[in-house]
Chains A and B, each alone.
Chain A
């Protein structure tokens, strides 16, 4: 039996995320690891390049906190909730410092991870052609994307995008065993390819389960243990986002962040309260219940809509 990789988010972040690294930040609107994101901010990590197909408020908090120099993504926003203020302040006014972005489309980002996961140097996509994303690049220069005619003679040209292999990644999932076999369901986003593209992965989970439980439904495993360097058990770890089968999106809390972040002072007060004012997720939950009451907390809990189990017999 392999040794346990269970540790706290404090230990995982200080051990595996260093200043200047290229970090994959998991979660496509669903199951975003706020626990680890907040720990990165508390530990004051600097000069990170963050990548993800599409980012939400967690990227805004990392950017506003000065942790980020570079972003690789297709989207830094929040759909109908509004726009991200720290992102805009950084891009429009260089506050707290200017950041650089390499812009792709959602699919071409995922394709970059797919190439990384498969160990191929690049991948052709049908997207990007004809647009300003082909001609505008930052630090990647002409290696951001190239147009190439199909060498097999179809006559069509495709945008080639390079494999993306982050030095480390982190994400949130429903459950894992102590060795790091991770199971996830619901919206997967660019996972599992993005995770497999990473050199190593930190996972936070709602529950640590036994290896036997994983083995009862192995089709649901999205990442095998050999990629995983740390398993962090953090229930409610994606709040204010949702985790399928555990809790729903906390819309009121997200709107509160949107309001607070419009002004740098109220943004700082929000971060002081919810990030710097707690030492970990347990304190975060305690604070949440103290402030908003147990009823509001309990209301987020997912209703029971369990799947039928299938027969894996032979």
Chain B
């Protein structure tokens, strides 16, 4: 396999898998985060514990689940409870890592899953928070995964569903959530971290074939860039092989 033989979606899966440390408890949804978590388990984090908000603990699915409440998650799991068990463990601050997405994100990692436009008269109405708000409030740290489009990376979200660092600085800390907030954002164009003091998002690395200029053009505020900004580390051939094995029919990953 040549060094660039991977898609940006596959790169995102690999980047999110690298955010998980061995032994951690991770709450996963479906799609790319699930692939990332499964990849981590098959590579550097064999002892991670996968938790689903619907109360499945230590799922060992034989077939890729299509929902956070897929029946195929259950045989082989260590425990099956309900939402009070699954999300309750998140709520208590027991879970290390959670994955999040949304329709919009702002520079402090706040997410919108409710609507585009005015909340009372939305031009588009989405499904709502689901467990996202609980995961962002309770998990020790979160990983945000987003397609990078200018209309999604906005100065101010139309509705604040899920707390990132709120208005920056110590505004999140003051509310004393069990969780500490987003650690990283992985987009289709780059990887972003949050400044230790201001809590503002900055560009850490750009994906292969993407420029800093292109990322700034697709971001709805004046994006800060790390002094040592570099290209995102490439996936290994082994990681790409595993990801493709996990999703052979391209249910979550568009075929290259």
Contact = CB atoms under 8 A, between A and B. Distances in A.
Chains A and B come from one and the same complex: yes
Interface of A: 28-30, 53-54, 73-80, 83-84, 87-88, 91-92, 101, 103-108, 110, 114, 125-133, 136, 155-157, 185-193, 242, 244, 248-249, 251, 302, 305
A97 B123 CA distance: 16
Contact of B87 (A88, A92, A106, A302): A106
Given A74-B129, A251-B66, A110 B84 contact: yes
A155 to B, nearest CB: 8
Looking at chain B, what size class is its interface with the partner chain? Answer: 35 or more
A242 B71 contact: yes
Interface stretch (B170-178, B198-206, B223-231): B170-178
Interface stretch (B12-20, B145-153, B154-162): B154-162
A129 B137 contact: yes
B124 A132 contact: no
Contacts of B56: 187
A78 to B, nearest CB: 8
B218 interface: no
Contacts of B175: 129-130, 157
A29 B68 contact: yes
A106 B172 contact: no
Contacts of B134: 105-108, 127
Nearest to B81: A188
B130 to A, nearest CB: 4
A132 B71 contact: no
B69 A187 contact: yes
Contacts of B119: 132, 136
B253 interface: no
Nearest to A103: B128
Interface string B123-136: 11111111111100
Contacts of B128: 73-77, 101, 103
Given A79-B68, A105-B132, A187-B55, A132 B159 contact: yes
B9 interface: no
